[in-house]
């Protein structure tokens, strides 16, 4: 078992969660030698001599063999992680944006420097989905991985749709509870889910996706009448990540609200909980659920990475290494529901097998089928549109 001497960046929601969970972990030998933070004069619930404001206190210390990166600035996080890997330190991070936007370079860095980079805490909080895909499903061909990957939006949807709370109040509660990203746009516009989708696509299908390829929209355009329409169909609205293998071997990935049947497992994932559905060739459908955000749940995922490092664990990126490499495709037709408060928005979108729904005051909607390439263009041209898969 390896002795781990940790240098930690960040002592916010997740950093403190990890700090406290480590105090209760007796199964391996670790020692946090230094914690680098940003703001001077903040009261911290840890001994004052642990803290520093100079990143070189960790990066230049040869006795520190593990960097745990838990800051809320993806650009700076990449600089820290790159430098740590180049200096032969193992890295654990929960920063999905940083990982997703630099996956190719990070894979090369860990390979070239013969070190480990782990990021279980970056995807779906406490659900051990990365290691499950990486280890358990390493050889089984998968058809689809989908689910609720963002605790903040699921919290807002639960509170507004089921408990009558207004949007601003629900968002502010999610922020107070430490679920929301520093900039909530990343959560509510679906960027956070997109980063996680990119990571999941690598671990489940071996593909390296470019964020500009993906169709993505969030929950900001949902209206009460959309919820009412969903209810008439015995469905609820959820923001879903989807990575789906197509019959021609390509992989489609998209982040869209969906009308989910009331009796589906994902319809019953509430508040900050996340849910992941893995559909395998031989195992069939599996459903995972757990807390998708928050100090201790995410801290626990990071703790599990620390524990894994203590026995020398490293991702092998087996699906990627198998060179199955299904190409990315947006050439997929989906059944969808669209709505807007403006008729021209609806008229401007042509759907196959289109069905216009009854018009009510300032509310226009229809259902039909659309190709993802066309939908991608449409979302740019029609920013007020609410779109959900059926």
Ligand X SMILES: NC(=O)c1ccc[n+]([C@@H]2O[C@H](COP(=O)([O-])OP(=O)(O)OC[C@H]3O[C@@H](n4cnc5c(N)ncnc54)[C@H](OP(=O)(O)O)[C@@H]3O)[C@@H](O)[C@H]2O)c1
Annotated catalytic sites, by residue?
196
Q: Which stretch binds ligand X (CB under 6 A): 64-72, 83-91, 358-366, 371-379?
A: 64-72
- Rounded to the nearest 10°, the torsion over CA 96, 200, 194, 74 is 10
Give the whole-angstrom CA distance, residue 364 versus residue 177: 36
Q: Which stretch binds ligand X (CB under 6 A): 108-116, 167-175, 292-300, 318-326?
A: 292-300
Nearer residue to ligand X within complex by CB, 195 or 363? 195
Contact between 11 and ligand X (CB under 6 A)? Answer: yes
How buried is 229 (Cβ within 10 angstroms: 0-12 exposed, 13-18 middle, 19+ buried)? buried
Q: Please report how close the Cβ of residue 77 comes to ligand X at its closest, in angstroms.
A: 7
Give the whole-angstrom CA distance, residue 103 versus residue 54: 26
Classify each residue of 48-65 as buried b or exposed e, where b means 16 or more C-beta atoms within 10 Å of its C-beta.
eebbeeebebbbeeeebb
Contact between 386 and ligand X (CB under 6 A)? Answer: no
Return the structure tokens found at 199: 């990571």
Q: Please report how close the Cβ of residue 343 comes to ligand X at its closest, in angstroms.
A: 39
Nearer residue to ligand X within complex by CB, 56 or 140? 56
Q: Which stretch binds ligand X (CB under 6 A): 3-11, 134-142, 305-313, 353-361?
A: 3-11
41-60: contacts with ligand X (CB under 6 A) = 42
Out of 20, 33, 38, 270, the residue judged to bind ligand X by CB under 6 A: 38
Contact pattern for ligand X over residues 139 through 158, marking x by CB under 6 A: --------------------
66-95: contacts with ligand X (CB under 6 A) = 70-73, 76, 94-95
HSE at residue 362, side-chain half, CA atoms within 13 A, is: 4
* Strand spans (E) along 102-230: 117-118, 142-148, 215-216
**DSSP state letter for 137:** T
Residues that bind ligand X (CB under 6 A): 9-15, 36-39, 42, 70-73, 76, 94-96, 121-122, 125, 178-179, 181-182, 293-294, 298
């Amino acid at each position: 078992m390896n002795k781990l001497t940790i240098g930690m960046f960040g002592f916010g929601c997740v950093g403190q969660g990890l700090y406290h969970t480590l105090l209760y972990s007796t199964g391996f030998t670790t020692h946090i030698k230094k914690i680098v933070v940003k703001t001077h004069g903040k009261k911290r619930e840890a001994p004052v001599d642990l803290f520093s404001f100079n990143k070189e206190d960790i990066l230049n210390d040869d006795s520190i063999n593990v960097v745990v990166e838990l800051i809320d600035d993806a650009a700076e996080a990449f600089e820290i992680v790159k430098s740590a890997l180049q200096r032969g330190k193992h890295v654990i991070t929960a920063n999905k944006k940083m990982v997703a936007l630099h996956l190719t370079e990070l894979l090369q860095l860990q390979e070239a420097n013969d070190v480990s980079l782990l990021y279980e805490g970056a995807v779906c909080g406490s659900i051990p989905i990365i290691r499950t895909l990486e280890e358990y499903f390493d050889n089984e061909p998968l058809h689809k991985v989908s689910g609720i990957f963002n605790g903040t939006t699921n919290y807002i949807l639960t509170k507004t749709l089921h408990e009558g709370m207004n949007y601003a109040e629900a968002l502010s509660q999610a922020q107070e509870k430490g679920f929301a990203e520093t900039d909530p746009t990343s959560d509510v516009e679906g960027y956070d889910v997109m980063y996680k989708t990119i990571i999941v696509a690598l671990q489940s299908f071996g593909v390296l996706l470019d964020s500009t390829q993906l169709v993505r929209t969030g929950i900001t355009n949902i209206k009460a009448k959309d919820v009412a329409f969903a209810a008439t169909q015995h469905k609820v609205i959820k923001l879903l990540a989807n990575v789906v293998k197509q019959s021609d071997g390509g992989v489609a990935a998209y982040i869209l609200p969906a009308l989910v049947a009331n009796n589906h497992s994902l319809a019953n994932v509430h508040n900050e909980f996340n849910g992941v559905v893995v559909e395998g060739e031989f195992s069939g459908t599996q459903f995972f659920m757990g807390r998708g955000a928050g100090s201790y749940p995410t801290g626990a995922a990071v703790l599990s990475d620390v524990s894994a490092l203590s026995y020398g664990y490293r991702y092998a990126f087996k699906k990627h290494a198998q060179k199955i490499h299904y190409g990315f495709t947006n050439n997929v037709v989906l059944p969808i529901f669209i709505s807007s408060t403006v008729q021209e928005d609806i008229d401007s979108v042509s759907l196959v097998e289109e069905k216009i729904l009854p018009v009510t005051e300032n509310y226009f909607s229809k259902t039909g089928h659309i190709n993802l390439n066309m939908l991608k263009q449409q979302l740019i041209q029609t920013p007020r549109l609410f779109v959900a898969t059926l």
